[in-house]
Amino acid sequence: MVLERPDEFNDPSSRHGYSEDGMTDLQTQPDRASVAAHQNSVLRRPGRWLVRRWRWLTSMRTAVVLLFLLALAAVPGSLFPQRSLTPSAVARYFRENPDLAPVLDRLWMFDVFASPWFSAIYLLLFISLIGCLVPRCTEHLRALRAEPPPVPRHLHRLPVHTENTVSLPSETVAEQLEADLRSARFRVSRRSIPGGVEISAERGRVKETGNLVFHVSLLALLVALAGGRLWGYEGSILVTEGDGFCNSFQQYDRYVAGPLVDPDGLTPLCFDLEDFRATYEPNGTPASFTADIGVQAEPGAATEQTTIGVNDPFRSDGDRLYVTGHGFTPLFTVTLPGGQVFEQLSAPFLPRDSTTFASEGVVKLPDLGDGSGDGFALEGFFAPTGLIQGGVLTSVDARPLNPQVAIVGYRGYLGLDSGAPQSVFTLDQRQIDVGALNQIGEANLDIGESAEFEDGTVVRFDGFREFAALQVSHDPGQVAVLISAITMLLGLLVTLLVRRERVFARIASSQVSSSVDDRSTTVSMAGLALGGNGDIRERLHGLTSSLLGDSQPGQHHGR
């Protein structure tokens, strides 16, 4: 029977009533429920698609794939020079590969770790790990508080099971079995059932704990690395003996800073290079570098003396000062034709040969002060142990046993105020090509020797001092990276060494005769082990042997 509401269904103007031609609205209009269901289905499709994508992204398999892709994406960073590390090497690559270099540059091959595709993989890995670990950690915490699962109904269906009959009361068997399991560090749950006792035992949950610790530590490691990139900085500078510098981006020869670094908030440290020493192997190759430095907590403060080495940096407030290399700084005295003298002109010469430390560099004097507006430059080659072969100076040893220089003098416009960037270690070849800078002479000099150029300029080689390549690094995530790496290792060891096992037992009493003491107990046991059944089979065998040792067996079978 169908009940109708006359005031609604019999009103012609009602949408649920009859129309003027006698046909019902159900015949002339679509069913409202069907339309609503269709609309809801259309609206739910994007939601279901997003849910499926989220579940895929937050799966552990996806996290492993993204981790592999991150390692793969980092490979170009070791194959191509990076602007953040060696901008000079990038410039050299452009000169040597003028056609390929622009294509690689558009693909961010010279800025791999700042590229959009590397950042995208990094961000997706973050999201995947967080979305995967949060529910797993929550579930694991609940499982740690929960008791072992109940005994399955059909123990014989488990991979390893056994059944024995012993002449002991069921309570005695249950107490002994529980004691043996607890002594083996099992978590035991004992339940009474009609006619007997059931025991569930479990151990090895710490295996999952180690697994989660490993992955949480991996996430913390990635966060620490990202924090170090955002708030960290690194600067390099060449400092000659007797000179110094302060921790400021304006003084560094090259620096890399994270986007959140405040240039005015750097640690106000100042360093003076007082002495540098290099030791050499018997074959002449450098063995170690040490530098005596004076450290000031801030400009004008008291100086603290310390010694640093390649693997022995100076540490203060998160900053570390390293020695990364060394070289030589030749010293010159220049006397102009008008009698004006410039003493102790110097500039670091960069080694081009790591075995003999043959070095090249430029000494620039942008204004001679004689009203001509000309500048002066010495382009030189320094040999720590010099040997002239066929009129060409070479170096045969890294030790400064016979220092010599080969110099070429230039006079004219150096182009330092042209606005175009140029290296402090080379001359601007464009000024030479257009005739703005002209060669005025060349010479090979020992220490103390002088040479007079065509325009009357006299250059004397006064000797050399050594310089140290120093690097200041600030990484606020360094300690977190170390702790994360250690906990990752510990979690991995726990995951690999701990086994997860479960043991189930059902103990049922049966009376053989009318005598109260003539009773037998049937003990059915089964076990599961993650990663193999060999150990759990031995476990059940040991438990059975312990029970049978206190009783005469009635029967024994299993697998």
Within 8 A by CB and 6+ apart from 108, the residues are 114, 115, 116, 117, 118
406 within 8 A of 356, measured Cβ to Cβ:
no
Instruction: Give the pLDDT of residue 23.
Output: 39
* pLDDT of amino acid 534: 62
Q: Which residue in the block uniquely carries the two structure tokens 């590229």?
A: 115
pLDDT of residue 47: 72
Ramachandran assignment for 440, one of left (phi > 0), alpha (psi -120 to 50 degrees), beta (any other): alpha
Q: What are 315-324's pLDDT values in tens digits?
A: 887 889 999 8
SS3 492: helix
Residue 248 has pLDDT above 70, yes or no: yes
Residue-wise pLDDT tens digits, 417-475: 776 777 788 888 888 888 888 999 999 999 999 999 998 999 999 999 999 999 999 98
Residue 69 CA to residue 397 CA, distance in Å, equals 46
Q: Is the pLDDT of residue 15 over 50?
A: no
Q: Do the Cβ atoms of 137 and 212 come closer than 8 Å? A: yes
Place of tokens 């029977």: 1
pLDDT at 35 over 60: no
Q: What angle do CA 424, 425, 431 make, to 5 degrees?
A: 75
pLDDT at 283 over 80: no
Q: Which of 34-38, 336-340, 519-523 has the lowest mean pLDDT?
A: 34-38
Q: Which helix (H) or strand (E) holds 273?
A: strand 270-280
Please list the alpha-helical segments (H only) found in 162-205.
170-183
User: CB–CB of 237/326 below 8 Å?
Assistant: no
Average pLDDT of span 216-237: 88
Residue boundaries of the structural domains of the chain: 1-30, 56-140, 150-204+500-558, 332-461
Beta strands in 182-232 (DSSP E): 187-193, 196-203
Residue range 496-521: mean pLDDT, rounded = 76
pLDDT value at position 25? 43
Mean pLDDT score, 344-362? 89
> Is pLDDT at 490 greater than 50 in this prediction?
yes
Question: Which position has the token pair 């290792």?
Answer: 489
Give the 3-state secondary structure of residue 238: strand
| 8 A C-beta contact, residue 235 and residue 471 | yes
What does the block give as tokens for 9?
């269904």
Give the three-state DSSP class for 421: coil
How far, in Å, CA of 12 to CA of 312, rounded? 96
- Residue partners of 473: CB distance under 8 A and separation at least 6: 232, 233, 234, 319, 320, 322
More confident residue, 172 or 34: 172
Backbone angles phi, psi at 4, to 5 degrees: -120, 155
* Residues β-bridged to residue 278: 289
Q: Which of 65-69, 285-289, 317-321, 506-510 bottoms out in mean pLDDT, i.e. has the lowest?
A: 285-289
From 126, 122, 7, 116, select the one nearest 58 (Cα to Cα). Answer: 126
Residue 550: predicted pLDDT: 52
What residue type is 50 in one-letter code?
L
Distance CA 533, CA 156 (A): 15
Share of the chain above pLDDT 90, in %: 30
Angle formed at CA 164 by CA 161 and CA 169, multiple of 5 degrees: 130
The whole-angstrom separation of Cα 330 and Cα 363 is 9
Average pLDDT over residues 538-559: 68
d(CA 540, CA 504): 10
Structure tokens at 45: 């499709």
More confident residue, 51 or 330: 330
Give the model's confidence band at 16: pLDDT under 50 very low, under 70 low, under 90 confident, else very high. very low
Are 318 and 267 contacting, i.e. CB atoms less than 8 angstroms apart? yes
Q: Is 421 exposed, middle or buried (CB count within 10 Å of its CB: 0-12, 13-18, 19+)?
A: exposed
Of 211-215, 379-383, 512-516, 517-521, minimum mean pLDDT range: 512-516
Phi, psi of 192 (to 5 degrees): -90, 140
Separation of alpha carbons 489 and 482, rounded Å: 11
**Angle between helix 170-183 and helix 534-549 axes, rounded to 10 deg:** 130
d(Cα 408, Cα 442) in Å, to the nearest integer? Answer: 4
- Which of 272, 326, 453 lies closest to 377, judged by CA? 453
Q: How far apart are CA 424 and CA 366, in angstroms?
A: 12
CA-only gyration radius of the chain, Å = 41
The Cα 35–Cα 289 span in angstroms is 82
476 by Cβ neighbours in 10 Å (0-12 / 13-18 / 19+) ranks as middle
Phi, psi for residue 514 in degrees, rounded to 5? -75, -10
8 pLDDT tier (thresholds 50, 70, 90): very low
C-alpha 558/C-alpha 399 separation (Å) is 80
Residues in the chain: 559
Whether the predicted pLDDT of 7 surpasses 70: no
Say what the pTM is.
Answer: 0.67
Contact 12, 20 (CB under 8 A): yes
pLDDT at 447: 94
For 300, counting Cβ atoms within 10 Å of its Cβ (0-12 exposed, 13-18 middle, 19+ buried), the class is: exposed
Report whether 336 contacts 370 (CB < 8 A).
Answer: yes
pLDDT tens, 65-105?
Answer: 888 998 899 898 888 888 776 776 787 788 888 889 899 99
Query: Residue 450 has what pLDDT?
Result: 94
CB 224 within 8 A of CB 481: yes
Tokens 């310390």, located at residue: 306
Mean pLDDT of the chain: 83
Query: Which CATH code for domain 150-204+500-558?
Result: 3.30.160.110
Contacts of 277 (CB under 8 A, 6+ apart): 289, 290, 291
Residue 88: the pLDDT is 67
pLDDT in tens, 143-167: 888 889 899 988 888 888 898 888 8
Confidence of residue 40 (pLDDT cuts 50, 70, 90): low
Residue corresponding to tokens 């002991």:
168
| 56-89 residues labelled b (16+ CB within 10 A) or e (exposed) | eebeeebbeebbebeeebeebbeebbbbbeeeee
